[in-house]
Chains A and B, each alone.
Chain A
Amino acid sequence: MKKENFIWSAIKTGLLGGAVALFICLIGMVEVFSKRDVVEGVITLGQFVLLATSIIAGLFASKNTSSLVERNKAFSSMVAGVIAGVVTGGMIALFVILGDIVNIRAVFLNASPTLYQLLTFEQGVGNAWVLPAIGAFAGLLGAGYVFLPASVSHPINRGLLVIVFMALFSGLFRVVLINQGPEMEKAAKYLFGQTGLTKAGALIFFLGVILVTLLWTYQGGNVRQGITRLPKGGRLSLQVIAFALIGFIALALPQVSGPFIAQVIVIVALFILMGLGLNITLGFAGLLDLGFVAFYAIGAYTVGLLTSYGPFGLQHISFWVAIPIAVLVAMAAGFTLGLPVLGVRGDYLAIATLGFGEIVRLLAGSDFLSPYFGGPQGIIGIQKPCLGFLEPFVKIDVPRVCNGIELGKPQDIYYLAVVAALLIAFVAWRLRESRLGRAWMAIREDEDVAEALGINLIQTKLLAYMLGAAMAGLGGAIFAALIGSIFATSMQLLVSINVVALIIVGGMGSIPGVIVGAIALIGLPELLREISEFRYLLYGMALIVMMLAKPEGLWPSQAARRELHHEDAAQIER
Chain B
Amino acid sequence: MPMLTLDKVNTYYGNIHALKGITLSIEKGEIVTLIGGNGAGKTTTLRTISGLLKPREGNVRLNGEDLSKYKAHEIVYKGISMVPEGRGVFARLTVNENLEMGAYSLKDPQGISRNMERVFTLFPRLKERHTQVAGTLSGGEQQMLATGRALMASPNILLMDEPSMGLAPVLVELIFDTIQQINKEGVTILLVEQNALMALSIAHRGYVLQTGEIVISDSAENLKNNPTVQKAYLGME
Q: Which residues of A contact B (CB under 8 A)?
A: 435, 438-439, 441-442, 445-446, 448-457, 559-560, 562-563, 566, 569-570, 572-574
Contacts and interface: CB of A to CB of B under 8 A. Distances in A.
Contacts of A454: 73-74, 76-77, 104-105, 153
Interface in B56-104: 71-74, 76-77, 81-82, 84, 88, 90-94, 96-97, 100-102, 104
Contact of A563 (B97, B104, B131, B135): B135
Contacts of A560: 92
Given A453-B153, A455-B73, A572-B131, A439 B88 contact: no
Contacts of A572: 94, 131, 133
Nearest to A572: B131
A573 B96 CA distance: 11
B104 A439 contact: yes
A441 B90 contact: yes
Contacts of B178: none
A453 B102 contact: yes
Contact of A452 (B52, B131, B136): B52
Given A452-B52, A453-B104, A563 B92 contact: yes
Given A442-B90, A449-B88, A453-B104, A563 B71 contact: no
Listed residue (A457, A560, A562, A566) with the most chain B CB atoms within 10 angstroms of its CB: A562
A333 to B, nearest CB: 26
A145 B117 CA distance: 57
30 contacts: A435-B104, A439-B104, A441-B93, A442-B101, A446-B90, A448-B84, A449-B90, A451-B52, A452-B50, A452-B72, A452-B73, A452-B81, A453-B73, A454-B73, A454-B74, A454-B76, A454-B77, A456-B73, A559-B92, A560-B92, A562-B94, A562-B133, A562-B136, A563-B92, A572-B131, A572-B133, A573-B131, A574-B94, A574-B96, A574-B131
B132 interface: yes
Contacts of B104: 435, 438-439, 442, 453-455
Contacts of A457: 73
Ranked nearest first, the 5 interchain pairs of A and B with the lowest CB-CB distance are A454-B105, A454-B76, A559-B92, A445-B90, A449-B88
Interface of B: 50, 52, 71-74, 76-77, 81-82, 84, 88, 90-94, 96-97, 100-102, 104-105, 131-133, 135-136, 149, 153
B160 to A, nearest CB: 12
Contacts of A442: 90, 101, 104
A569 B132 contact: yes
Contacts of B73: 451-457
B231 to A, nearest CB: 35
A433 to B, nearest CB: 12
Contacts of A438: 97, 100-101, 104
Contacts of B71: 456
A566 B77 contact: no
Nearest to B82: A452
B75 to A, nearest CB: 8
Contacts of B84: 448-449, 452
Contacts of A562: 92, 94, 133, 135-136
Nearest to A442: B101
B102 to A, nearest CB: 6
A441 B104 CA distance: 12
A446 B92 contact: no
Contact of A453 (B93, B94, B96, B105): B105
Given A454-B76, A455-B73, 8 more contacts: A441-B93, A445-B91, A452-B73, A454-B73, A456-B71, A456-B73, A562-B133, A574-B131
B6 to A, nearest CB: 18
Listed residue (B82, B92, B93) with the most chain A CB atoms within 10 angstroms of its CB: B92
A563 B133 contact: yes
Given A452-B84, A453-B102, A563 B91 contact: yes
Contacts of A570: 132, 136
A566 B136 contact: yes
A461 to B, nearest CB: 12
Contacts of A573: 131
Contacts of B100: 438
Contacts of B77: 454
A187 B92 CA distance: 51
A38 B133 CA distance: 47
A445 B153 CA distance: 19
A180 B181 CA distance: 77
A454 B91 CA distance: 19
Nearest to B77: A454
Nearest to B92: A559
A435 B101 CA distance: 9
B76 A453 contact: yes
Contacts of A445: 90-93
Contacts of B135: 562-563, 566
A449 B71 CA distance: 14
Contacts of A449: 84, 88, 90
A508 to B, nearest CB: 11
Nearest to A451: B72
Nearest to A566: B136
A448 to B, nearest CB: 6
A187 to B, nearest CB: 50
Listed residue (A445, A456, A566, A572) with the most chain B CB atoms within 10 angstroms of its CB: A445
A391 B9 CA distance: 67
